[in-house]
A and B are shown apart, each in its own frame.
Chain A
Amino acid sequence: MTFVSFSSWLETAPAWVQGLPGGLQNFIFQLFQTFVFADRWKLFANGLKITFIVTIGALALGVIIGLVLAIIRTLYCSYTVNKPPFILKILNAFTETYLTVIRGTPMMVQLLIMGFVIFVPKTELGCIICGIVTLGINSGAYVAEIIRSGLMSIDRGQTEAGRSLGFNYAQTMFYIIIPQAVKNILPALGNEMITLLKDTSLVSVIALRDVTKQAQNIQSLTYNALVPYISLAAIYLVLVVGLTKLLAVFERRLRKSEH
């Protein structure tokens, strides 16, 4: 059963609903249709699961890609007078191309290309991986620039002090530069996380049933757009506010450890 008529619903509705004005009755009916009837809240719940998986996966991938690219760019930029080694030039050229292409094309188009040209996933798992990879690659480009600006905000003397103690480049980065840069990176990275979370709503174009896709499905089942989409907006808003709060707590913790 996918459809219930307003009149048959009203007959079975509790008494307090019967006494309400018609407009309100209709609104409650739409809420009923969207969430309660045929356990449709489960559609939202399943959609949220996909949204979370894609967000977290893409975030992890984005940070890894971003960190690698940022280190390449920072290392390249650190050669101010001397000529950088050939391999670094190649890596830097690749990184710059990557940043240009990814930041210069819409996320939607990237999803369409990955979903219908490159990956062409057949299963749901395939679609999820395709979504994670596409969003991760996209996010990585933005994260790279965020991390790069964070790394370059640390005084050169810190690197020199680390190197003069005998640490190699990687150890200096890991023990000395990155822990300090995190504080500068985190606010901007939080923004990127929020953007990424909202951008996952685009994965419906590669047939992933995320929470946005589920709201669309419910709209087509109930011939009613208002309640599913307003609810969808509310869901994203709650998620983003929650994430913002979480980041604020994290940031405060970091500040506390600093003097």
Chain B
Amino acid sequence: MNTDDIVIKVEGLKKAFGDAEVLKGIDLDIHSGEVVVVIGASGSGKSTFLRCLNCLEDPTGGCIYFDGVDLADVSVDINVHRQNMGMVFQHFNLFPHMTVLRNMTIAPIKLKGLSEKEAADKAYELLKRVGLEDRADAYPSQLSGGQKQRIAIVRALAMEPKVMLFDEPTSALDPEMVGEVLDVMKALANDGMTMVVVTHEMGFAREVGDRILFMDDGVIGEQGTPDEIFDNPQSERLKSFLAKVL
């Protein structure tokens, strides 16, 4: 792969909570259009890694370059860069006091200066893509888990981000709703979105991932294509992890 299309470059990323070192030095290049799936046991640091990418956690060491800009630099306005990085959370985190439509339009209106109409048109278009255009006026509490997560995805997409980060997007869902959310993510991947996905859905990782990262105890234990990781794991740790989850 060439180096021109690197969207996120991570160098020696470290994160410690007090004395507990969660990330112990991570190096990674994420290319445009790539779908990187992060797997690993709980406590291995995969969510922390993802949250460091858009500075929801401040790294304690190393650099993160997004579009060539070092996000750890204090002179960088992180808020501007976050607009270009959509994030989807395990617990959806929709705004319960706003309708679905408002959830999707408030950021584009307030941050990108779109008019109410422009933002609403865009929101309806996105809602149509996930089959929820009839729920625009509903409040989040009136939606099922799967619907909430689909809305959370299009809320992030409404800002037209360059990268989408997914933090265990299906872990809080009832099993029968996992599929509808994964379908939306697959469609997004097929459209060429650059994605970093932390998940326990091995089937999804295998089918959609361009590259799999196996996080182990704060470092990247192993990485490779889905075939390499799932069919030909090298380390004992990865083998025993896969034996447990597959």
Tell me, in angstroms, the Cα distance from A167 to B87 when the chains sit together: 13
A161 touches B97 (CB 8 A): no
Selected contact of A161 from candidates B18, B79, B93, CB within 8 Å: B93
Given contacts A171-B110, A180-B96, A180-B97, contact A166 B83 (CB under 8 A): yes
Given contacts A161-B95, A164-B56, A258-B97, contact A81 B83 (CB under 8 A): no
- Chain B residues within an 8 Å CB radius of A179: 97
Tell me, in angstroms, the Cα distance from A96 to B93 when the chains sit together: 32
Return the CB mask of B85-103 against A: 1 if under 8 Å, else 0: 1110101011111000000
A142-157 interface (Cβ within 8 A of B): 155, 157
Tell me, in angstroms, the Cα distance from A164 to B94 when the chains sit together: 12
A interface residue count range (under 10 / 10 to 19 / 20 to 34 / 35 or more): 20 to 34
A163 touches B97 (CB 8 A): no
A167 touches B89 (CB 8 A): no
B102-157 interface (Cβ within 8 A of A): 106-107, 110-111, 139-142, 152, 155-156
| Residue among B87, B107, B152 having the largest count of chain A Cβ atoms under 10 Å | B107
B interface residue count range (under 10 / 10 to 19 / 20 to 34 / 35 or more): 20 to 34
Whether a CB of chain B sits under 8 angstroms from the CB of A82 is yes
Whether a CB of chain A sits under 8 angstroms from the CB of B54 is yes
B18-55 interface (Cβ within 8 A of A): 18, 54
Report the minimum CB–CB distance from B123 to chain A (whole Å): 13
A217-259 interface (Cβ within 8 A of B): 257-259
A160 touches B93 (CB 8 A): yes
B18 touches A167 (CB 8 A): no
- Chain B residues within an 8 Å CB radius of A257: 97
Interface of B is mostly: mixed
Tell me, in angstroms, the Cα distance from A176 to B95 when the chains sit together: 7
A165 touches B83 (CB 8 A): yes
Tell me, in angstroms, the Cα distance from A41 to B160 when the chains sit together: 67
A165 touches B141 (CB 8 A): no
B54 touches A165 (CB 8 A): no
- Chain A residues within an 8 Å CB radius of B110: 167, 171, 175
Whether a CB of chain B sits under 8 angstroms from the CB of A158 is yes
Given contacts A175-B106, A259-B141, A259-B142, contact A168 B58 (CB under 8 A): no
Given A165-B83, A258-B97, 15 other A-B residues pairs in contact with their CB atoms under 8 A: A81-B17, A82-B58, A155-B93, A158-B95, A161-B93, A161-B94, A164-B54, A164-B85, A164-B87, A164-B156, A165-B155, A167-B107, A175-B110, A258-B139, A259-B140
Q: Hey, which bits of chain B sit against chain A, CB under 8 A? A: 17-18, 54, 56, 58, 79-80, 82-83, 85-87, 89, 91, 93-97, 106-107, 110-111, 139-142, 152, 155-156, 159
Q: Hey, which bits of chain A sit against chain B, CB under 8 A? A: 81-82, 155, 157-158, 160-168, 171, 175-176, 179-180, 257-259
